[in-house]
Amino acid sequence: MSSLQNALEYYQALVGSEVGTSSWVTIDQPMVDRFAQCTGDAQWIHTDPGRATAETPFGGTIAHGFLTLSLASSFASECFQPRPGQVMGINYGLNKVRFITPVRVGARVRGKFALQGISVRSDTELLRETLLTVEIEGAEKPALVAEWLGISVFRD
């Protein structure tokens, strides 16, 4: 049996279940500032703690939604180990993303993954559909939910 076929069977058994939860990551102001500088998004609600405390309902600065989403790859690397014969994983995109709760600077977040589907894309590739939920420690609602697509490439 090929490594792709073995991986397909492995993932098929996991469809509909939670497959992993990452470690907590603290969102601090230097991280937010670096993201703002890198992306050119220096809106004051992210980069000016004094003004954000005085003028927003958040009590201080908040992380960019896209910063929170960008942590997905790091979270996934903890939760999805390469299968035997897998030579790489490729981000294929997102079907849907919803930013539900702002992440206040100083908060901790983590990723939780549930496998929604797996299919054969080619004779060397599997397409994995995953529901990502980024939780905020102590918060009732998540920071975001996303339907994330990833390709696993195999070589025997």
- The total of structural domains in the chain comes to 1
33 in a domain, yes or no?
Answer: no
CA atoms within 13 A on the CB side of 60: 10
State the CATH number of the domain containing residue 12: 3.10.129.10
Per 3-state DSSP, what percentage of the chain is helix, strand, and coil (rounded to 5)?
A: 30, 40, 30
Which tens digits make up the pLDDT trace of 36-93? 999 999 999 999 999 999 999 999 999 999 999 999 999 999 999 899 999 999 999 9
115 in a domain, yes or no?
Answer: yes
66 in a domain, yes or no?
Answer: yes
pLDDT tier, 103 (very low <50, low <70, confident <90, very high otherwise): very high
Q: What is the mean pLDDT of the chain?
A: 96
Domain that holds residue 114: 3-27+62-154
Give me the mean pLDDT over the 115-138 stretch.
97
Q: Which residues contact 59 (CB under 8 A, 6 or more apart)?
A: 53, 104
38 in a domain, yes or no?
Answer: no
32 in a domain, yes or no?
Answer: no
Residues 81 and 75: beta-carbon distance below 8 Å: no
41 in a domain, yes or no?
Answer: no
117 in a domain, yes or no?
Answer: yes
Return the pLDDT at 62: 98
40 in a domain, yes or no?
Answer: no
Give me the mean pLDDT over the 147-155 stretch.
96
